[in-house]
Each structure stands twice: as C-alpha cells, then as structure tokens.
Amino acid sequence: MKCQDLQFELPLYFDDVLSPAEVAKIDEHLAECPLCRRRLADMQELRQAMRSLARPVIPARTLAAIRTAVAEKAHIRIPAPGFRLIESKRNWVDTWLIPYAVGSVASVMICFTLLWFLLVPPQTFEIVSERQRSSEAMSEIMLASTNPDVIDISPLQYANARLSVAGESPSINPQGALVALTRSLMRGEMNDDEVVVVADVFGNGLARIAEVVEPSHDKKAIVELQKALQSDPDFAPFVPASMDRRSGSVRVVLKLQSVNVEAESDPPAF
C-alpha cells in the first residue's frame, strides 16, 4: 500500500469506521512509513486541539430570531386542520322541511293515540263484567229441598260456573248422591246439627272419607255419607275431573250443616 492510497482512509483511522482488514493494512503501512506516522500524529493533535476549544455562544436575540423564523416556516408548511361536510349540499326542503314535518306529524299521532287510550272507556272491562254477571247468574246456591224439581241445573253448567276455583274445590254434582243425601238428612234426626269430614275426591267424581273431624249426633249420618260418596259413578257426588279441569285426586274438607229457618208471616195489610 502506498501513501497516496491512505489520503482518504487515514483521517478515519481514529473514528472506528474502517473494517478490520483496512485497519490491518494501515497498521502495516504505518510500521514502514514515518511520513504517514507523522501525518497521523498531526491529525490526532489537531483533533484534540479542536475538542479543547470552547463552543461559541449565540446571542439570545439571534437565537430568538432563528427560532421565530423556523416556527414561521414550519407553520406555513403544515396546513391547519379544517372541517368540511362529506355529504353534498341538498335542497332545504330535503334537509329541514321534510324531517321536521315527519317528526311533527308522528308526535301529533302519538299524542292523539295516548289521549284516545286514556279517554275512551275500554270495552274489555264491559265484556269481562258481562261474563262475570253471567257467571254469577249461573252460580246458584243449592239448598237441600225435598222437591227434586227445584234443581234444574246440569252438572256441566255448574262446573263451568266454577272453573276459576274448581282446581282447589271440586264441583258438587247437582244430580248426584250427595245432594240426594242432604234431602234424606233433612227428614232424619239431623236437626240443627253438622258433620265435618276430610274426603279424597277422585277423578271419576267418587270420594272417600279420610278423617272425621266433627261427627254428628245422628250415628247413621257418617254411614250414609260414606255410601253417598262411594255410590254408583252415574250418580257420583262430584262432577268428573274433566269437567272441572282439575287433577285426578283432590283432598277437600266437606261440611254438612242442617239449619232450621222459620219463615216469617206476611204483615197485615192496612
């Protein structure tokens, strides 16, 4: 390697930017060439002298002017953020009139609908009340009587009149043995007396006494009651479960009471 070849590599010798192969070649040349060693020493002294020099102090006014100029240039190059509508311009009728008109009409319709619901009496209540009146008319109180013609209601009619409570209280068969028993008890010794039993009512309308809570003074009353509850299915004391829409077996408390009511005489006419 000649000295001319080191005119570009020698200044970079102390900067650690040369490859190891180039550094090895320079070291080999420096060992043989005193001129290049002297030149390298001068460069090193010059570097150290330049490092020892103090940095020039820029005046504050000059520094402020430079910063102002740089800020103005940067402000000019960077555009300010702007906003613009993406949609194209439309007619004021489509933009303002139609939306407000539709909203106003909808608000008026909603107000009229609410007023109509609040002021107009609902017909549903009348229908329900009519049904309730008809149900009350069909729900007759059955009193024991010696005249069988008094009971003119069928088991289905009586069951339909009690569907709301038939699940907990089975309907009595108006033409069954239990109603017939009440007429026979009136003719017997059960006067101003009562019988309270717990009975299991089955799906076919028959029943069975599970417990006697309060017996009667008439000893035959319990026996006759048991026979009436377990009579012929055609004369079952209760209506079938299909008519009452209830479960197959229901336990009830059955109370038979005999009360003598004296009819008052008609008042004299004046």
| Contacts of the segment 137-142: beta carbons below 8 A, 24+ positions apart | 142/172, 142/174, 142/179
- Which residue in this structure is represented by tokens 């420096």? 30
**Residue range of the domain that includes 154:** 132-257
The verdict on residue 112 lying in a domain is no
Last residue of a domain, one of 14, 34, 51: 51
Q: Rounded to whole angstroms, how far apart are CA atoms 222 and 195?
A: 8
Per-residue model confidence as pLDDT tens digits over 86-120: 666 677 777 777 888 888 999 999 998 988 888 87
Q: Could you write out the DSSP letters of every residue in 229-259?
A: HTS-GGG-SB--HHHHT--S-EEEEEEEE--
The verdict on residue 180 lying in a domain is yes
Per-residue model confidence as pLDDT tens digits over 130-175: 444 444 444 444 444 444 444 567 778 877 877 777 777 788 788 8
Q: Rounded to whole angstroms, how far apart are CA atoms 119 and 112?
A: 10
The verdict on residue 68 lying in a domain is no
Last residue of a domain, one of 34, 51, 68: 51
At residue 264, the pLDDT reads 55
- Answer yes or no: are the C-beta atoms of 161 and 135 closer than 8 Å: yes
158 and 253 both lie in a single domain: yes
Say what the pTM is.
0.39
Using the CB atoms, write b or e for 136-171: b if 16+ within 10 Å: eeeeeeeebeeeeeebeeebeebbbbbeeebeeebb
The verdict on residue 74 lying in a domain is no
Single-letter amino acid code for the residue at 31: A
The verdict on residue 86 lying in a domain is no
34 and 151 both lie in a single domain: no
Domains: count for the chain: 2
Per-residue model confidence as pLDDT tens digits over 235-264: 788 888 888 778 778 888 878 777 666 655
Q: Rounded to whole angstroms, how far apart are CA atoms 228 and 185?
A: 12
Residue 224 belongs to what H/E stretch?
A: helix 220-229
Per-residue model confidence as pLDDT tens digits over 44-68: 888 888 888 777 788 888 888 988 8
The verdict on residue 222 lying in a domain is yes
